[in-house]
Structure 1
Amino acid sequence: MARWWGAQPGTRVESIAERKIREAMERGEFDDLPGQGQPLKLGDRDPDWWVKGLLERENLRMPLPTSLQLRREAREIDETVADCRTEGAVRDVVEALNDRILDSHRRRVDGPPVVTATLDVDAVVARWRERRRG
């Protein structure tokens, strides 16, 4: 309980922050906020729940160490080549990624020791062709 000079003992005095919040509520500034009336999503005791929620909400990607970035790029290769206009462009993209993967095998890159296999260029091209037909 805050006490202000001249206030009667036992009398509660509103803080500046409380007053500003009350006035904003009276003006309706908190009306129609996203998630209003819904329980807070506080996570499953994961200490990084708020960071993960922010990344998901804002569609952000954390920069990954090279070893994990290569694995992600290999996993998402079909989406990466989806906008390529020619088979040659698809091959160039896949071969460039394969060169970076092989380079990571030859020298130590940052991140955990994750060995990513090179991609089968012909298989990626075949999937690309199939999606273009479909």
Structure 2
Amino acid sequence: MQYESWIDRQIREATERGEFDNLPSAGKPLNLDPDEDWWIKAKLAHEDLGALLPGPLMLRREVERIQDTLADVERESVAREVLDDLNARIREYYLRPGPGPQIIVRLVDVEAELDAWRRRH
């Protein structure tokens, strides 16, 4: 006769009741990251916590996703304001760099982005 711990018994009984059947990730491989900070990366991705990024990295993300930002904009004048505001914040970053290494953030080409916006609308 083998000893069954309280935890083992709970797991066995839950399995018998079918509580582990049809779980969302059942049968899928585990996404194991060898990095010791895997849980931080997973939490940031799962919760979309990009707002926790330092200022220049947030600006870079905004530049990368500018067309997504402009997708809901109906008027060209508003789209231009959004682009000009982003460029103003990028210029402000260069005027007042924070501690640590300088991160390069490119300015948005307003006319090129407006052309892309016009093609989508």
Structure with greater proportional helix content: 2
Q: Match for residue 5 of structure 1?
A: none
1:61 equivalent among 49, 61, 76 = 49
Residue identity over aligned pairs, in percent, reads 43
Q: How far off its partner does 1:73 sit?
A: 0.6
Alpha-carbon distance, 1:18 to partner: 0.9
Greater shift after overlay, 34-43 or 78-87?
A: 34-43
Structure number with greater Rg is 1
1:63-93, CA deviations, whole angstroms, 9 ceiling, x for partnerless residues? Answer: 2100111111111111111111101000100
Matched with 1:99 is: 88
Tell me if 1:82 matches 2:71.
yes
- Determine if the alignment matches structure 1 residue 109 to structure 2 residue 98: yes
| Aligned residue number for residue 18 of structure 2 | 28
Give 1:54 deviation, angstroms: 4.5
TM-score normalised per structure 1: 0.77
CA shift at 1:125, angstroms? Answer: 1.0
Change (3 A) 1:32 1:71: same
Moved more, 68-77 or 102-111: 102-111
Amino acid at match of 1:60: D
* Equivalent of residue 38 in structure 2, options 27, 49, 60: 49
Structure 1, unmatched stretches of 5+, are 1-10
> Using the alignment, how far apart are the partners of 2:117 and 2:27 within structure 1?
46
1:82/1:38 Cα in 2 relative to 1: closer, same or farther (>3 Å)?
A: closer
Query: Structure 2: where are the runs of 5+ without partners?
Result: none
For 2:25, give the aligned amino acid.
Answer: G
